[in-house]
């Protein structure tokens, strides 16, 4: 992949390591200066990369509320629990904080196209801010990417390609600037989470801040943000402990500085935003936790999914499971008495569940007061012609997406991403499922097969073929 702007590179040219911004400031900043500015990421311009006013690309990100959580706190046994609700950002994710900085720098430097590989939230955020800046976007996604996030990327005008592997690159050889979650301009924006927490707390520090650990970048930059506030003379030396929440099977934060363990597989595929295949800032996050006298907590995918419903039920905040993992962690923290019950603790809820259709369906399956998906009758008119064609082909034999595309494209014009989109939707209503993985032409391929519910839907479609017209998609 070619890059047109060296300034956006995310790794060191000499060692290949991730570039972590130093928590330095050009001058001391007064609290009154910050308080006089409108809320949002760019309130902290003096602590961010230098961009002229007319170059700023913003959608109103940041300025998210720090909310008291008394009902959730009562259930978990903590009397001073707070929630930093990052679901209020424009695309529903804390990544918008970084995307506004990156897009502004890209606009400043004349970048015309960005290329990105993502599991979801990064692609949606980048596509939105690139659209605002007039920058073209090509995004490579894994077939597991949730359709809600895929729809966002498409709506923002991004060119989307389905990749065979999370580390593959979109449009190999295509001109553009490569952007990853390790980009230091993204990180610079993410540190404003810490700035806002401290300002909302009246320029004092909570006892602990609890964050999910994906790449490790957000947690690292929250610590850098605290150090930078101290260097700017806004707060004293950081006293706040950082708690990192990981999916079970991840390399332990407490050990990662001494040894590198093999990554486990428990829960893989369930929390794509939490189980980063390339946690480039894991060591940096571990150092931040050590230096802040914090600790790491492991949760299972099942616990994180359960916490999604608990957070929504008690505090009215619907988060994706990766974000709600901090709630699951707080339950363990309480049981093991890792923090005092009267500690003032901020849980950072990093992303909304409204664009995570898998999270919605999991909650629906466990809810007792609504009709479950298994009880719904799938009418033939709800299935478009392409979906019916996919079901018919899978009834003959299990296939992977590329073979389905080859067979279907003989009769109509359709793209490979569209096939995977249809498969995701069919999977979401239990008409198809993933049966296995095979290696074909040097790539790992997901094999799909029909479920019993899929067979029933296909038979219903056949019976109605003479009486009801299928909707074309």
Comparing 226 with 379, the larger pLDDT belongs to 226
Going through 261-317 in order, the beta strands assigned E by DSSP cover 295-299
**Backbone dihedral region of 324: left (phi > 0), alpha (psi from -120 to 50 degrees) or beta?**
alpha
pLDDT of residue 11: 57
pLDDT of residue 462: 77
18-22, 155-159, 245-249: range with lowest mean pLDDT: 18-22
Comparing 241 with 412, the larger pLDDT belongs to 241
**116 part of a folded domain:** no
Give the torsion sign (CA, 219, 224, 229, 230).
positive
* Structure confidence at residue 195 as a pLDDT band (50, 70, 90): very high
Tell me, what DSSP letter sits at residue 120?
S
Q: Is the pLDDT of residue 237 over 80?
A: yes
126-135, 332-341, 460-469: range with lowest mean pLDDT: 460-469
Tell me the two tokens of residue 354: 């409204």
**310 part of a folded domain:** no
Q: pLDDT averaged over the chain?
A: 83
Q: Considering only CA atoms, which of 142, 131, 76 is closest in space to residue 99? A: 131
Q: What is the pLDDT of residues 263-301, one digit of tens each?
A: 444 444 555 555 554 567 888 999 999 999 999 999 998
Could you tell me the pTM of the whole model? 0.74
**74 part of a folded domain:** no
Stretch 37-56: mean pLDDT: 95
Query: Please, are residues 384 and 122 in contact by the beta-carbon 8 Å criterion?
Result: no
Alpha-carbon span 44 to 25, nearest angstrom: 12
**425 part of a folded domain:** yes
pLDDT of residue 377: 47
**Backbone dihedral region of 85: left (phi > 0), alpha (psi from -120 to 50 degrees) or beta?**
beta
Q: What percent of the chain has pLDDT over 70?
A: 77
**389 part of a folded domain:** yes
pLDDT of residue 169: 60
Domain housing 417: 375-464
> Domains in the chain: how many in total?
1
Comparing 359 with 348, the larger pLDDT belongs to 348
* Structure confidence at residue 92 as a pLDDT band (50, 70, 90): very high
Stretch 337-358: mean pLDDT: 91
Q: Long-range contacts of range 390-394, CB-CB < 8 Å, 24 or more positions apart?
A: 390/419, 390/422, 390/423, 390/426, 390/432, 391/426, 391/431, 391/432, 391/450, 391/454, 391/457, 391/458, 391/461, 392/458, 394/432, 394/448, 394/449, 394/450, 394/454
Residue 457's CATH number: 1.10.10.10
pLDDT of residue 364: 60
Bridge partners for 45 per DSSP: none
pLDDT of residue 375: 46
Stretch 443-451: mean pLDDT: 82
Comparing 177 with 193, the larger pLDDT belongs to 193
**370 part of a folded domain:** no
Q: What is the pLDDT of residues 308-333, one digit of tens each?
A: 999 999 999 999 999 999 999 999 99
Q: What percent of the chain has pLDDT over 90?
A: 51
Stretch 373-381: mean pLDDT: 45
pLDDT of residue 388: 87
């Amino acid at each position: 992949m070619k890059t047109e702007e060296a300034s956006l590179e995310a790794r060191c040219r000499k060692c290949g390591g991730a570039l972590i911004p130093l928590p330095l400031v050009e001058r001391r900043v007064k609290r009154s200066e910050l308080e006089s500015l409108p809320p949002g990421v760019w309130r902290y311009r003096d602590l961010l990369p230098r961009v002229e006013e007319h170059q700023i690309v913003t959608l109103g990100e940041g300025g998210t509320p720090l909310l008291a959580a008394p009902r959730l706190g009562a259930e978990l046994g903590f009397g001073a629990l707070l929630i930093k609700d990052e679901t209020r950002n424009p695309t529903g994710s804390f990544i918008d904080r970084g995307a506004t900085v990156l897009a502004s720098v890209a606009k400043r430097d004349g970048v015309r196209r960005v290329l990105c590989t993502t599991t979801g939230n990064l692609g949606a955020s980048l596509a939105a801010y690139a659209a605002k800046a007039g920058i073209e976007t090509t995004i490579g996604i894994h077939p597991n990417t949730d359709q809600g996030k895929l729809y966002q990327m498409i709506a923002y005008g991004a060119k989307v390609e389905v990749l065979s592997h999370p580390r593959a690159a979109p449009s190999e050889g295509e001109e553009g600037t490569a952007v990853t979650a390790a980009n230091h301009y993204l990180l610079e924006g993410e540190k404003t989470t810490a700035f806002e927490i401290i300002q909302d707390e009246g320029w004092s520090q909570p006892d602990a801040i609890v964050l999910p650990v994906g790449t490790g970048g957000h947690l690292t930059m929250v610590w850098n943000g605290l150090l930078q506030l101290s260097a700017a003379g806004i707060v004293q030396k950081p006293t706040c402990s950082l708690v990192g929440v990981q999916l079970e099977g991840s390399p332990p934060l407490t050990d990662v500085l001494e040894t590198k363990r093999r990554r486990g597989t428990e829960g893989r595929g369930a929390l794509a935003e939490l189980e980063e295949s390339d946690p480039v800032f894991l060591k940096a996050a571990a150092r931040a936790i050590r230096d802040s006298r914090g600790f790491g907590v492991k949760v299972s995918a099942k616990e994180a999914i359960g916490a999604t419903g608990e957070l929504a039920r008690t505090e009215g905040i619907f988060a994706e499971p990766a974000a709600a993992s901090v709630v699951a962690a707080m339950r363990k923290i309480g049981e093991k008495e890792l923090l005092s019950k009267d500690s003032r603790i901020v849980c950072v809820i990093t992303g909304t569940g409204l664009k995570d259709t898998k999270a919605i369906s999991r909650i629906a399956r466990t809810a007792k007061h609504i009709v479950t998906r298994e009880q719904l009758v799938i009418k033939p008119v709800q299935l478009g012609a392409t979906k019916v064609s996919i079901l018919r082909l899978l009834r003959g034999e299990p296939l992977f997406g590329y073979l389905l595309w080859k067979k279907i494209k003989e009769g109509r014009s359709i793209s490979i991403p569209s096939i995977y989109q249809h498969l995701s939707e069919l999977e979401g209503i239990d008409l198809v499922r993933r049966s296995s993985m095979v290696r074909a032409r040097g790539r790992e391929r997901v094999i799909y097969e029909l479920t019993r519910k899929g067979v029933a839907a296909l038979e219903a479609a056949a019976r109605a073929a003479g009486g009801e017209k299928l909707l074309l998609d």
